[in-house]
Amino acid sequence: MSSGGTGGHSHSHSHDGGEHEPHDVTVGLGVLGGIITFLVVEKTVRLFDGGHSHSHGAEKKKSDDKQKKKAKDKKEDIKIAGYLNLAADFTHNFTDGLAIGASYIAGQNIGLITTVTIFLHEIPHEIGDFAILVQSGCSRRKAMMLQLLTAFGAVSGTVLSIYLRGSGDSVVSSLILPFTAGGFIYIATVSVIPELLEGSNKFSQSIKEIVALLAGVYMMVLIAQYE
């Protein structure tokens, strides 16, 4: 409740001293909607995962089943953060596809520039997603295959944007893009940063992590300026 109140409080203050525009409200609600949706998904997955063991009878059988399930999960399953990241990545690629399709409708040159820009933007982004999947328990081969599957989001977004004859820009700005941003904010704050806090407490390692974090932000800012 305090998290929701703080988020809503900061959002309301962002409009103080200026005119209230429906578009700004939509963007803010879209981001909050993405965060809340990913929270609900993770809580639901954890609920079903935790409730599975209550269906067993004897304590010994439950213990054996838990050990077998744990061994199987270690080999086959991905952590919840990995699934959430895949969902966010697919949606993000979908919005990229919408932008690409809409830009080609505006003109071939604009389409080419947009495609190259998004490609450069996706290089560091996909590297980060790959690292999250590996950290979540995927093998490198499996992580690459899953990343390849999320690329179909861009294809479907491009096809839909062309089909809608240029309506992709309004869709991206008003709903889909803020929702995706909220999903990535949730993953970063709930899954990635806590992993860093639970890792090595050495001063040198902490400095490296902070520098890498700032470098990633700076890289995204530079790319955004040329988009």
* Closest-CA residue to 38 (of 194, 224, 182): 182
Q: What is the pLDDT of residues 32-52, one digit of tens each?
A: 888 888 788 777 766 765 544
Domain map (residue ranges) of the chain:
23-47+80-225
pTM of the complete model beyond 0.85: no
Cβ–Cβ under 8 Å, residues 123 and 62: no
In whole angstroms, give the CA distance from residue 7 to residue 191: 19
**pLDDT confidence of 227, banded at 50, 70, 90?**
low
* Closest-CA residue to 23 (of 178, 127, 207): 178
Position 142 pLDDT exceeds 80 = yes
Q: What is the pLDDT of residues 97-139, one digit of tens each?
A: 877 777 777 677 777 777 877 787 778 778 888 888 888 888 8
H helices present in 107-227, as ranges: 108-135, 140-150, 152-163, 168-171, 177-186, 193-198, 203-225
Position 5 pLDDT exceeds 60 = no
